[in-house]
Amino acid sequence: MNDSTARLTGPVRVVGAGLLGASIGLGLRAHGVDVILSDASPANLNLAIDYGAGRAPRPDDAPALVVVCVPPDLTASVVAAELAAFPNATVTDVASVKVAPLTELEASGADTSRYVGGHPLAGRERGGAISARADLFIGRPWVVCTRPDLSRRHTGLVESLVLDLGAAPVEMTTVGHDASVALVSHVPQLVSTLMAKRLVGSSEQAIALAGQGVRDVTRVAASDPELWVQILGSNAPSVVQILRAYRDDLDTVIGVLDDPTAPGARRSLAEELAAGNAGVARIPGKHGQDRRFAQLVVLVDDRPGELARLFAEIGEAGVNLEDLRLEHSPGAQIGLAEISVLPEVVQRLSDELAERGWRIAG
Contacts of 164 (CB under 8 A, 6+ apart): 6, 7, 8, 27, 28, 31, 33
Mean of the pLDDT values across residues 330-341? 78
- Alpha-carbon distances, residue 76 vs 80, 112, 117 (angstroms): 6, 11, 10
- Give me the pLDDT at residue 100, please: 94
> Could you give the CA distance from residue 307 to residue 300 in angstroms, rounded to a whole number?
7
- Give me the pLDDT at residue 362, please: 60
The answer, yes or no, to whether residue 215 has pLDDT greater than 60, is yes
Among 159, 157, 185, CA closest to 170 = 159
> Could you give the CA distance from residue 145 to residue 117 in angstroms, rounded to a whole number?
5
Strand intervals (E) in the chain: 12-15, 35-38, 65-68, 90-93, 115-116, 118-120, 141-145, 168-172, 294-301, 323-328, 334-341, 359-360
Among 290, 286, 292, CA closest to 322 = 286
The answer, yes or no, to whether residue 112 has pLDDT greater than 90, is yes
pLDDT band of 212, cuts 50, 70, 90:
confident
- Give me the pLDDT at residue 281, please: 84
CATH 3.30.70.260, domain 288-360, yes or no: yes
pLDDT band of 182, cuts 50, 70, 90:
very high
Residue 325 CA to its chain's centroid (Å): 18
Residue 257's Cβ-count burial label (10 Å; 0-12, 13-18, 19+) is: exposed
- Give me the pLDDT at residue 117, please: 97
The answer, yes or no, to whether residue 39 has pLDDT greater than 90, is yes
> Could you give the CA distance from residue 44 to residue 105 in angstroms, rounded to a whole number?
27
Residue 217: strand, helix, or coil: helix
pLDDT (tens digit, 9 = 90+) per residue, 269-325? Answer: 999 999 999 998 888 765 455 456 888 888 898 889 999 999 999 999 999 988 888
Q: Do domains 12-172 and 288-360 have the same CATH topology?
A: no
Buried b (16+ CB within 10 A) or exposed e, 206-236: eeeeeeeebeeebebbeeeeeebebbbebbb
> Could you give the CA distance from residue 220 to residue 217 in angstroms, rounded to a whole number?
8
Average pLDDT score over the chain: 91
Residue 39: strand, helix, or coil: coil
pTM, 2 dp: 0.80
> Could you give the CA distance from residue 257 to residue 271 in angstroms, rounded to a whole number?
14
- Give me the pLDDT at residue 325, please: 82
- Give me the pLDDT at residue 49, please: 97
- Give me the pLDDT at residue 1, please: 41
Q: What percent of the chain has pLDDT over 90?
A: 73
What are the extents of the domains in the chain? Answer: 12-172, 179-281, 288-360
User: Of the ranges 19-33, 161-175, 250-264, 291-305, which one carries the lowest mean pLDDT score?
Assistant: 291-305
Architecture of domain 179-281: Orthogonal Bundle (1.10)
Residue 279: strand, helix, or coil: helix
The answer, yes or no, to whether residue 341 has pLDDT greater than 60, is yes
Looking at 3.40.50.720, 3.50.40.10, 3.40.50.970, 3.40.50.300, the CATH number of the domain 12-172 comes to 3.40.50.720
pLDDT (tens digit, 9 = 90+) per residue, 47-83? Answer: 999 999 999 999 999 999 999 999 999 999 999 999 9
What is the helix, strand, coil percentage profile of the chain, to 5? 50, 15, 35
- What string of DSSP letters covers 288-325? G-----EEEEEEEESSTTHHHHHHHHHHHTT----EEE
- Give me the pLDDT at residue 125, please: 66
- Give me the pLDDT at residue 134, please: 94
The answer, yes or no, to whether residue 246 has pLDDT greater than 60, is yes
pLDDT: which is higher, 141 or 123: 141
> Could you give the CA distance from residue 124 to residue 337 in angstroms, rounded to a whole number?
22
Q: What percent of the chain has pLDDT over 70?
A: 95
Mean of the pLDDT values across residues 330-336? 72
Residue 147: strand, helix, or coil: coil
The strand order across the sheet containing 115-116 reads 35-38, 12-15, 65-68, 90-93, 115-116
> Could you give the CA distance from residue 8 to residue 163 in angstroms, rounded to a whole number?
10
Buried b (16+ CB within 10 A) or exposed e, 156-188: ebbbbbbbbbbbebbebbbeebbbbbbeebbbe
